[in-house]
Amino acid sequence: MPLPVLILGGTTEAAELGRALAGDARFRATISLAGRTRRPAPQALPVRMGGFGGVAGLIDHLRGENIAALIDATHPFAAQMTAHAVAAAAATGTALLLVRRPEWRPGAGDVWRMVDSMAEAAGALGKLPRRVLLTVGQKDLAPFAAVPWHDYLIRSIEPPAGDAPAHRFLAARGPFTEAEELALLRRERIDAIVTKNSGGVATEAKLAAARALGVSVVMVARPPLPEGAACVATVSDADAALAWLHARSPRGV
């Protein structure tokens, strides 16, 4: 009997894990997406779309689908989904793995200002007008409307959802190369980038480009892990998640 697996996705790690599991008869795996983007990246596994309906809905889903292994490979800023996964796995006794890519850390030549929230990031841009590249996604933009004197270029997959400052919009989906990021920063004469500390390689080229040009970076720290997550098995990439799954497969590796 194949092992029923649910992967909470929306990340490169989840997609990579999906490619590794596709066609593997030891597993019956599905990827779950929130449905935030109109054209989600193609997945190698069957996809289910949309919220579960809170912790209770996720518990029902885990029970209804007989899920034996739940892998939370959501983005490090998708804190609510992770909290729900931890609670639902505990309630149902489902084996849970968290996939958390390492944070970005500043190195020599970086001009980073670390902040704990999007409101603090908006304040950190200062009183003088700046040309700002906002790469914080589509739904965390409201605090920048309170500091409207900056010239904002918002880059995300989808246009802003909800309050946002006056801006120009650049629709784009990573990965981005350093050459592309250098060209963008130069063309737009960007002097500050605001980003979440997402980690990972797909969107880190902007940091190298900023270093090369002396552009300052406002780095928003990750939200804390939810209660109970510290006791959950955690790995940092898709290969390690695959190894964890293999250890649970009916016939081993």
Q: Applying CB under 6 A, which residues contact ligand NAP?
A: 8-11, 32-34, 36, 51-54, 57-58, 74-75, 77-81, 84, 137, 196
User: How many whole angstroms separate alpha carbon 117 and alpha carbon 140?
Assistant: 10
Closer of 13 and 191 to ligand NAP (Cβ): 13
Closer of 81 and 241 to ligand NAP (Cβ): 81
CB of 183 to ligand NAP, least distance (A): 24
User: How many whole angstroms separate alpha carbon 58 and alpha carbon 154?
Assistant: 33
Which two three-digit tokens encode residue 235? 């790995």
User: How many whole angstroms separate alpha carbon 20 and alpha carbon 16?
Assistant: 6
CB of 158 to ligand NAP, least distance (A): 11
CB of 131 to ligand NAP, least distance (A): 23
Closer of 26 and 155 to ligand NAP (Cβ): 155
CB of 129 to ligand NAP, least distance (A): 27
Sequence-distant (6+) residues with CB within 8 A of 105 are: none
Closer of 75 and 155 to ligand NAP (Cβ): 75
CB of 252 to ligand NAP, least distance (A): 28
3-state class of 38 per DSSP?
coil
Closer of 124 and 157 to ligand NAP (Cβ): 157
Do 188 and 133 contact (CB within 8 A), yes or no?
Answer: yes
Closer of 77 and 244 to ligand NAP (Cβ): 77
CB of 239 to ligand NAP, least distance (A): 19
- ω into residue 175 within 30 of 0, thus cis? yes
Relative to beta strand 233-235, strand 95-99 is: parallel
Nearest to 238 by CA among 102, 97, 99: 99
- 21-30 — which CB contacts under 8 Å span 24+ positions? 21/45, 21/242, 21/245, 26/2, 26/249, 26/250, 26/251, 27/2, 27/3, 27/245, 27/249, 28/2, 28/3, 28/4, 29/4, 29/5, 30/5, 30/6, 30/65
Closer of 11 and 191 to ligand NAP (Cβ): 11
CB of 107 to ligand NAP, least distance (A): 23
